[in-house]
Amino acid sequence: MDITLVLLAAGIGSRYGGPKQLERFGPDRRTLVEYALHEACRYGIRRAVCVVGRQHRESLMELLANVQARMAIEFCIQEPEDLPAGAVSRRSPTLGTAHALFSARHLLDGPFLTANGDDFYGPTAWRDLMAAVRSAPDSSQLLAYRLAATLSPNGPVSRGICSVKNGKLLNIEEVHKIRMENEKILSGEKNRPLGDSTPTAMNFFYLQQNFLPLLEADGARFFASDRPAEEWGLPQAISRSVALGALQVKVRLTDSPWVGVTYPSDRAAVEMAVRSVDAVRKNS
């Protein structure tokens, strides 16, 4: 089965203070984009599409030259002007992860995985998602994390909180200002409590090509609505398609840890995680 990995790597890193997708980690000084590509290669994925900002395209092409011997990599620029027919964006300069995937639509002709270019999902998560794909290759899938595994000790985060029934996705709610406080997970200004094991979407999806017209239709509705300060996020686009009855998504919950670089002080945790994985692989 031919699967394409779509890496969403066009973020500007406003809270981090720079392009996170170009940061290097671990003893081999690799970017998180490279770690994702290496994991994909381990499972036989031989094609990737990197969605990037125009200003970082050349840098990423140079960084990934060593991977291209094992995997075909195409680069797609996320252009603000590339919108669903008739849509007008009032959001600048970033349009969100759903728009990033929409930007790559012309390069997709079969099932595909999505992953953030500035997240380290970990080998256990890759194993769990690929096991789900093998068990149901014609279904759409979400590899969800336990909420506690996705928090930053360095500040609040926004996360896609999932409602799941009988292993199927019902809804993904974008919840803001999630943080650990007095050993409890709280969110928002009303201090809403959340459970440690709450399924959480981190853009680690397996989707079929027939999702792309649903995505375009969702984008047309999204940009027609009065949401000037909101990004077109992939988890929410998927959730709305589920709510309309147009899409079914199976959910597998992983026990894998997750690390990412939301804040500059998150760098130490990412460094530790990738070094640990590299050490295990070199000694195995």
* CATH number of the domain that residue 56 is part of: 3.90.550.10
| Signed CA dihedral, 58, 23, 14, 142: sign only | positive
Q: Please tell me the total count of domains within the chain.
A: 1
Average pLDDT over residues 210-229: 87
pLDDT band with cut points at 50, 70 and 90 for residue 89: low
* Summary count for the chain: helices (H), strands (E): 7, 16
Give the pLDDT of residue 248: 98
Which tens digits make up the pLDDT trace of 235-279? Answer: 999 999 999 999 999 999 999 999 988 788 888 888 898 888 866
Tokens encoding 203: 């853009």
Contact 100, 8 (CB under 8 A): yes
Q: Which amino acid is at 237?
A: A
Q: Is the pLDDT reported for residue 280 higher than 70?
A: no
Phi then psi for residue 222, to 5 deg, are -60, -50
Which tens digits make up the pLDDT trace of 118-173? Answer: 899 999 999 999 999 999 999 999 999 999 999 988 889 999 999 999 999 999 99
CA distance 216 to 102: 7
Contact 164, 199 (CB under 8 A): yes
3-state secondary structure of 101: helix
- Specify the pTM: 0.92
Tokens encoding 97: 């992860």
Domain range spanning residue 227? 4-283
